[in-house]
Amino acid sequence: MDEFSFIDAIKPSYYKQSTLIKGIGDDAAVIRSSANDLVTAVDIFVEGVHFKRETMNAFHIGYRALAANLSDLAAMGADPAFYLVGIVIPKSWSDSELKEIFQGMKELADFYQMDLIGGDTVSGKQLTISITVFGYCQKEKVRFRHTAVQGDVVFVTGTLGDSCAGLHVLSEPGEYKNQSYFIKRHRMPSPCLSFVKELQQIPRVTLNDISDGIANEAIEIAQASDVSIHLEEQKIPVSKEFSQFPKELQHKWKYFGGEDFEILGSVAKEEWPLVKMAADRTNTQVTEVGFVTSTEMDAGNVYVHKQGRKVKLDKNGYTHLK
């Protein structure tokens, strides 16, 4: 298949977003500016680095790549609208596999009324997908990570460590309970867009999506906001059959594993009931996992409290307090 018939095959037949003037088919796409803020992000996925053909089929590669981008929009409080796809295609990938990649993206895009508005297609040695997403956000409602303050409740959506558990199930075949659940969490993560949208009435919520493990994301919030974040070990939510995996892996996956694409947030105590209501309305599990303090001395730090002890968390592991 040549580049033109390929583009024809992935070209949507109509536009869903009213601000789109021109999508695929000219030298560039055209979006009419609106009263809302435009939020944009890009992510790159390289075969062998970010995914392997052995554990992901083509459909899931596309699905997961767009889901990761949408998770970034969710963490900004934005509503997804458009995406562009740059793809480097090696000879070893068939036409039908390539269509499947785009089909995986389309499934999520259709659900969120997103238009595919352009991209670039080239050949090369390693399958590489770069997705750029655009979303809209009401003015003054963008959720930055520098806004956490002392006294905030720290919360997390869903359960943590499942994506890593799914990858483990796929790469180390064996007898596992709830196997298909873990695999789905790895291959088809769901960005928390509807939940975040329901938070709009709350004046200040700090959000970060969990693409790199809760430890890393909490440190990002703590550093950007100049506060300390305290997590309570026994409150970190995990799924029902998570305990079947070796203790060491559970620990690693839940704090440092990442790619669960859940949301870590902080909100004023008074507003916490509204967060729980938003979670109820959108069928989202939300758990209070800690709190925020602010002293000049330990700004930017994250601590885990367990069995009456307090340990400092680093991006890649624990640092025990002296």
Site of interaction with ligand ADP (CB under 6 A): 7, 10, 24-27, 85, 87, 116, 118-121
Which residues lie below 8 Å from residue 310, measured CB to CB, with a gap of 6+? 230, 303, 304, 321
The interface partner of residue 24, options being Mg ion, ligand ADP, none and the CB cut-off 5 to 8 Å by kind, is: ligand ADP
CB nearer to ligand ADP: pick between 26 and 280? 26
Do residues 129 and 84 lie in contact, with contact meaning Cβ atoms separated by under 8 Å? Answer: no
Query: Measuring CA to CA, how many Å separate 278 from each of 165, 204, 247, 283?
Result: 28, 14, 33, 9
110 has binding-site annotation: no
- Amino acid present at 36: N
Do residues 214 and 236 lie in contact, with contact meaning Cβ atoms separated by under 8 Å? Answer: yes
Q: How far is the CB of 23 from ligand ADP (least distance, A)?
A: 7
CB nearer to ligand ADP: pick between 131 and 202? 131
DSSP structural state of residue 174: S
Q: How far is the CB of 117 from ligand ADP (least distance, A)?
A: 7
CB nearer to ligand ADP: pick between 109 and 148? 109
Residues of span 92-151 touching Mg ion by CB under 5 A: 120
* Segment holding 229, helix H or strand E: strand 228-232
Main-chain phi, psi angles of 70, to 5 degrees: -65, -30
- Please give the radius of gyration of the chain, using alpha carbons only, rounded to the nearest integer: 20
260 has binding-site annotation: no
320 has binding-site annotation: no
211 has binding-site annotation: yes
Sheet containing 37-46, strands listed edge to edge, beginning at the edge strand earlier in sequence: 37-46, 128-137, 79-89, 115-123
Q: How many of the chain's residues bind Mg ion (CB under 5 A)?
A: 1
Q: How far is the CB of 43 from ligand ADP (least distance, A)?
A: 15
CB nearer to ligand ADP: pick between 6 and 144? 6
CB nearer to ligand ADP: pick between 124 and 317? 124
Q: Which residues are annotated as a binding site for ATP?
A: 119-120, 145, 211
Residues of this chain that bind Mg ion (CB under 5 A): 120
Residue positions forming the annotated binding site: 27, 43, 50, 72, 119-120, 145, 209, 211-212, 259, 318
